Structure 1
Amino acid sequence: MVENKPKILYVDDEENNLIVFKSSFRRFYEIYTASSAADGLKIIQENDISVIITDQRMPGMTGIEFLKQLPEDLLAIRMILTGFSDVSAIIEAINSGKVYRYITKPWDKDELKMTIDNALEALTLRKNNQALVQELKDINEQLEQKVVERTAELEQALEEINVQNNELEELNATKDKFFSIVAHDLRSPISALAGFSEILAGNGKQLPPEKVAEYSKELNKSVKNVLSLIENLLTWAYSQMNKANLNPTEVDVNAVIEKILTQLAAVAGNKNINLEMDLADGLKVYADEDHLKLVLRNLISNAIKFTEPGGKVSVTTKAIDKSKAEIVVADTGVGMSIEKLTTLFNIGDNQSTKGTAGEKGTGLGLILCKEFVEKNSGSIEVASLKGMGTTFTVTLNQP
């Protein structure tokens, strides 16, 4: 096995000194010699030199000047051979950290070997220190990276907590709205039910037939109001809990509209409101049919509800290019103010409003419309002026 000896460079302009040095130490080290600073620099560039020993007094360049030309990151130990007359300059070089130590001429072989061995130990320590510094630097960079990653994780967790807090706040607002609706909007029709049923139960036999018919009619109206309110409340509650199933299919939108208009014809007729439709032939949309029915029933019912007797409600459909379908529900009713329009789809701000014939609602119908249209990848827009009617436009995807 070949032993890797430390590489020592000796620079001196006197050839005899180079020969003596090499013969003295070649058994212990791999010796390189150079008779000039230029030759020494070339050897250093081409070899991994551990210790550099240079004569101080050389023609054209001193030993200190030679050592100053070495690369800053070179780890090799630097030593100078000198006479006593140069000691002050060399001590200055040692103090500046450029030179490990100086050796006086003439040198003793054993003392010089001991000095070289000490220099090699110093080099080993220097390399170990450098490796330790690099290791600490790497660890520090890893720690910094972990801090960055952990900070990002904490920021993400904080963002998720904020989102959850916002959702909780919205749920609390939703809950408050729910109880407000139950307490306010259901009270009136249920009170009417209780009142009229009490009259009929207690005095039904004494009442004339026309009064019994009148009270029965009011009872029926209150029952329908309660049923409508409860249906919307339950649908809305399921929607808030994400339990409203979404099953999009190809839907014949014209057939849905025609069926709803037929169902609401009697309600419109009682208010002397004309129902009109202008439907594009064969138009289909890709949506959940139950959602679509709820949306259109709410929009058309609202249009009838807020239109004065003798007015008109129209439903039109048309294709927008080959990918979208547009459904427009327009009325000639009471319209809405700008303030009302800005909060129309906000559950916290939306309050139920009586229709032109005193019809009541929960204020949830339009909120459900918006939620269900958006669940089906569509959009809903409204345009209205006070006293000039209202137009709702629903846009959905074609299959």
Structure 2
Amino acid sequence: NNEFSYFRTKPYKKNTLSDDEIWSIYTDQKNRIWVGTHSGGLNMIEYNDGEYLINNFFHSLNDSLSISNNQVNAIFEDKSGCMWIATRNGLNKLIEKNDGKKYSVTKFYNNYSDSNSLSDNYITSVYQDHIGSIWVGTYSQGLNLIDEEENKITRFKNNQDNLQSLSNNSINILFEDHLGILWVGTIDGLNKFDRTHMSFKRYYRSDGLPSNEIMGILEDNSGNLWISTPNGLSKFDPINEKFINFDISDGLINDGFNWNAAYKDKNGKLYFGTNTGMLSFLPQEIVLNSYIPPIVITTFKTMKNQKWVENGSFVSVEQDFEETLKLDYNNNIFTIEFAALDYTNSIDNSFEYKIEGLDENWVSYGTKHSITVTNLEPGDYRFMVRGTNSDKLLNEEGVAFNITVKPPFWRTKGFLFMMLVLAILAVTSIYSFLVKLKTNKILEEKNHELEDANSRLIESQQNLEVLNKTKDKFFSIIAHDLRNPFNPLLSLTELLHDDYDSFDEKERRDFIKDIRNGAKRLYDLLENLLQWSLSQTQQIKFSRTKLEMNELINKNIDLLRINSDKKKIEIINDVKNDTYILADENMINSIIRNLLNNAIKFSSDGTKIKVSCEDFGSKYQFAVKDEGIGIKPEYIDTLFDFGFSKTRISKSNERGSGLGLILCKEFVEKNNGEIKVESEKGKGSTFYFTVQKAD
């Protein structure tokens, strides 16, 4: 009857709307109208006996059965007749009692510590799909899927690293088409849900949408989606994935559409709310432009000597050109302007192009109708452009022409052939050079082998000489060091032999004991000489141990006691107790024994020999000082050198070959020490050697 009923807020009166700012409207199965407001809660309008009855639902802190918030963003009725109310603070499920006058309320909230809760409390949309699942969109935290039977909530959010995730977390619209496909409109892109893989396919302005922000979605009776945006209305064919956009130039009263302001009536008529009014139409009555426009080139320019030059040969209404555009490699820039000859709404004509030999696919170029091509490599190409009318009906033939970019002379066949010949000559020369180089290298290697063999022969000869010298040295040392211990043994045995009967039993036993001790000392000396010989052939077992020097010196003094007593020489051990060194015990014994024996040998009767020690930081320096005949200055520098030692004769006509000192030098150096001598003719000598301290 073209009559309108108005519902407004009437303060302090019953049976009135709670707020005049309406945000959502829904008609349930009983033809009751549910009205959500900005701040006045929820209203249910029921027509009964010729009058409208309005029931108000408010949020109350003291009433657990009240709705969760007074800002109602969306309303939906599920298949069981329950009403789902999306608010600014939580989701509400209203379950009607049997009397039809009272409702129980189940509330859904976000719990940060529970992943099986809503992702956000600010709910923007709610929808039940064909299998009964409840979908909940939020303001900034993505999409939620509620499975009431399993008591499970699944969250879907944008993941920048996953292009099959939700395009944006701010949800505006949820819609399911007649095929059961869920469409999710966000502030940045349209999403198609894939139930099999639980993923999304995204659509943006680059795919044909007039804007990335989706305000509303409806489906017409032919299965096309009509999508409202802030920048116009779009008709989308989900099968072919083609968009046809409409704006003011197509008759819209406004390009800007409001959020969630979309409705389809029982006759298939679509209604959309805009910033300045309401738009309604029957989709089947929208007639599209079916004219396929010819595509022509209107202007063609080439760059020569940094100036644009027009070429009329390629300006034509024909679809193809017989002439080929020929360009030099250094003048390969050209500009083409083209047009689709349809003037219904020419600013919406769109184009795409492809350069065969460069592009594999067609390049979408939008409504731009000129292109500049630069820096084509030498070769043959084919430029093609095709376009659509204002309703995106494509002329698939378009217009095309061939392009040849001539190469520089150094890329021509003749030049390349010449370079090939030169390369072959170069390779041949290099090969000959390498063969010669390899031959010289082989000869050089043979010469090196001969030189190495000669060096090994020389080294073997030198080793033999060293071994011979070592052998001579060994026998000389044996002859030298064995002679000294034999003197007391010979003296004792001579006394026993000549005057045996003049001695009593006790004296004989003492002589035998001295002979036994002398033999033992001689055995120890032979053992030391054997150790030295092993060291010369690198067979000695060198073992450093912690040694106490005071005790070690006393043992060697006792070893030589017979010799010192015979000459009435006093040997003083001035080394303190607990003087520990780190050295090989056998070598240190040999060093001390030789130095003391030499001191006794070259000292006068009744003199003194002193052994002392001085702290040198990480080492000790030991000194053996005598009051003997001293050493001539010309002998001191060569005293420790084998082959340069001089025979010396003591005051008692004892001879010394100097081989004992050579032994001392080798053993001191083996223990990382040094040995030296200070001497003055007629006043005696002092021998010094250093040994490492023990920790």
Counterpart position of 1:43:
408
Q: Distance in 2 between matches of 1:252 and 1:196?
A: 33
Residues 110-129 of structure 1 correspond to what in structure 2 (within 5 A)? 120=417, 124-129=420-425
What secondary structure is seen at the aligned counterpart in 1 of 2:578? coil
Corresponding position of 1:273: 569
Structure 1 residue aligned with 2:47? none
Please say if residues 574 and 612 of structure 2, whose CA atoms lie closer than 8 Å, have aligned partners that are also in contact.
yes
Residue matched to 1:398: 693
Q: Tell me the distance in 1 between the aligned counterparts of 2:693 and 2:448.
A: 42
Alignment of 1:128-147 (within 5 A): 128-140=424-436
What is the identity, as a one-letter code, of the residue corresponding to 1:340? Y
Q: How has the CA–CA distance of structure 1 residues 195 and 246 changed in structure 2, closer, same or farther, with 3 Å as cutoff?
A: closer
SS of residue in 2 equivalent to 1:174:
helix
Whole-Å Cα distance in 2 between the matches of residues 351 and 229 of structure 1? 23
Cα contact 1:345–1:370 (8 A) shared by 2: yes
The CA distance in 2 between the partners of 1:236 and 1:396, in whole Å, is 18
**Which residues of 2 match residues 147-158 of structure 1 at below 5 A?**
none
Structure 2 CA distance for aligned equivalents of residues 123 and 290 of structure 1: 82
Residue 166 of structure 1 aligns with which residue?
462
Deviations, residues 97-128 of structure 1 (Å, cap 9, x unaligned): xxxxxxxxxxxxxxxxxxxxxxx4x7544322
Cα distance in 2, alignment partners of residues 397 and 368 from structure 1 = 19
Query: Of the two, which has the highest radius of gyration?
Result: 2
Residue of 526, 540, 552 corresponding to 1:244 = 540
- Secondary structure at the counterpart of residue 390 of structure 1: strand
Question: 1:270-323 CA deviation, whole Å, 9 max, x = no partner?
Answer: 2122222332553321111121111111111211111111222111112212x1
Structure-1-length-normalised TM-score: 0.56
Offset, 1:330: 1.4
Question: Does the CA-based 8 Å contact 1:174-1:348 persist in structure 2?
Answer: no
Question: Contact (CA 8 Å) 1:233, 1:364: kept in 2 or not?
Answer: no
Q: As a proportion of its length, which structure holds more strand? A: 2
Provide Cα deviations, 1:136-164, integer angstroms capped at 9, x if missing partner. 44455566666777766766665555444
Contact 1:287 1:376 in 2 (8 A): yes
Deviation at 1:367, TM superposition (A): 1.6
| Distance (whole Å) between structure 1 residues aligned to residue 489 and residue 575 of structure 2 | 40
1:332 aligned residue: 627
Match of 1:310 in 2: 606
List aligned pairs for 1:46-195, cutoff 5 A.
47-48=410-411, 51-52=414-415, 120=417, 124-140=420-436, 159=455, 161-179=457-475
Mean Cα displacement is larger for which, 270-279 or 181-190? 181-190
3-state DSSP of counterpart to 1:333: coil
- Distance in 2 of aligned mates of 1:348 and 1:260: 28
Alpha-carbon separation, structure 1, partners of 2:419 and 2:475? 82
State the alpha-carbon separation in 1 of the partners of residues 490 and 687 from structure 2: 37
Which is richer in helix? 1
Please tell me whether the aligned partners of residues 548 and 579 of structure 2 are also in contact (alpha carbons under 8 angstroms): yes
Structure-1 separation of matches of 2:657 and 2:527: 10
Greater Cα offset, 143-152 or 379-388: 143-152
Output one character per residue of 1:45-94: Cα deviation in whole Å (capped at 9) or x when no partner.
xx455635xxxxxxxxxxxxxxxxxxxxxxx6xxxxxxxxxxxxxxxxxx
Contact persistence 1:318–1:327 (CA under 8 A): yes
- In 1, are the aligned partners of 2:621 and 2:688 still within 8 Å (CA)? yes
Contact map agreement 1:283 1:319 (CA 8 A) in 2: no
* Cα shift at 1:246: 0.5
The letter for the 2-side match of 1:253 is M
CA distance in structure 2 between the partners assigned to 1:395 and 1:196 by the alignment: 37
The code of the aligned residue for 2:638 comes to T
Q: CA deviation at 1:369?
A: 1.1
For the Cα contact (< 8 Å) 2:488–2:562, is it kept in 1?
A: no
- The alpha-carbon distance between structure 1 residues 199 and 293, as it changes in their structure 2 partners (threshold 3 A), is closer
Question: Quick one: higher RCO (CA 8 Å, sep 6+), 1 or 2?
Answer: 1
Q: Letter of the aligned partner of 2:642 in structure 1?
A: I
AA aligned to 1:257 is: I
RMSD value, Cα: 4.7
Query: Residues 229 and 362 of structure 1 are in contact (CA less than 8 Å); yes or no, is this contact kept in structure 2?
Result: no
Structure 2 vs 1, CA of residues 347 and 313 (structure 1 numbering), >3 Å: closer, same or farther? same
Q: For 2:688 and 2:570, how far apart are their aligned partners in 1?
A: 20
Letter of the structure 1 residue corresponding to residue 620 of structure 2: A
2:613 equivalent to 1:287: no
1:148-181 deviation line (CA, Å, top 9, x unaligned): 7776676666555544433321221232344566
Output the amino acid matched with 1:383: E
Which AA in structure 2 matches 1:357?
A: S
Partner of 2:594: 298
TM-superposed deviation, 1:342 = 2.9
Identity %: 33
- How far the C-alpha of 1:373 sits from its partner, in A, is 1.3
Q: CA deviation at 1:265?
A: 3.8
User: Displacement, 1:354?
Assistant: 4.5
Find the partner of 2:652 among 335, 353, 357: 357
Q: How many Å apart are 1:346 and its aligned residue?
A: 2.6
User: What SS does the corresponding residue of 1:237 show, helix, strand or coil?
Assistant: helix
Cα distance, 1:385 vs structure 2 = 2.7
Secondary structure in 2 matching 1:51 = helix
Provide TM-score, normalisation by structure 2: 0.34
Q: CA deviation at 1:188?
A: 11
How far, CA to CA, are the matches of 1:191 and 1:314 in structure 2? 24
Q: Secondary structure at the match of 1:377?
A: coil
Paired letter, 2:678: A
2:677 corresponding residue in structure 1: 382
> 2-side partners of 1:232 and 1:170: how far apart?
21
The Cα of 1:259 is off from its aligned counterpart by: 2.5
Aligned pairs for 1:225-240 (under 5 A) are: 230=526, 233-240=529-536
- In structure 1, C-alpha distance between the alignment counterparts of 2:682 and 2:441, rounded to whole Å: 64
Give the drift of 1:247: 0.6
Provide closer, same or farther for how the CA distance between residues 386 and 196 of structure 1 changes in structure 2, counting only shifts above 3 A: same
Q: Which residues of structure 2 form unaligned runs of 5+?
A: 1-326, 331-406
Relative to 1, partners in 2 of residues 1:289 and 1:194: Cα closer, same or farther, differing over 3 Å? closer
Which deviates further from its counterpart, 269-278 or 360-369? 360-369
Distance of 2:483 and 2:559 partners within structure 1:
27
CA distance in 2, matches of 1:376, 1:289: 10
Aligned residues of 1:280 and 1:319 also touching (Cα < 8 A): no
How much has 1:324 moved relative to structure 2? 1.4
Which structure 1 residue ranges, 5 or more long, are not aligned? 1-30, 35-41, 53-75, 77-119
8 Å contact 1:317–1:325 — kept in the other structure? Answer: yes
Tell me the equivalent position of 1:369: 664
C-alpha contact (below 8 Å) 2:675/2:688 kept by paired residues: yes
The answer for the alignment partner of 1:347 in structure 2 is 642
- Aligned counterparts of 1:191 and 1:285: Cα–Cα separation in 2: 33
Cα pair 1:335 1:390 within 8 Å, conserved: yes
For the 8 Å contact 2:642–2:659, the answer to whether it is kept is yes
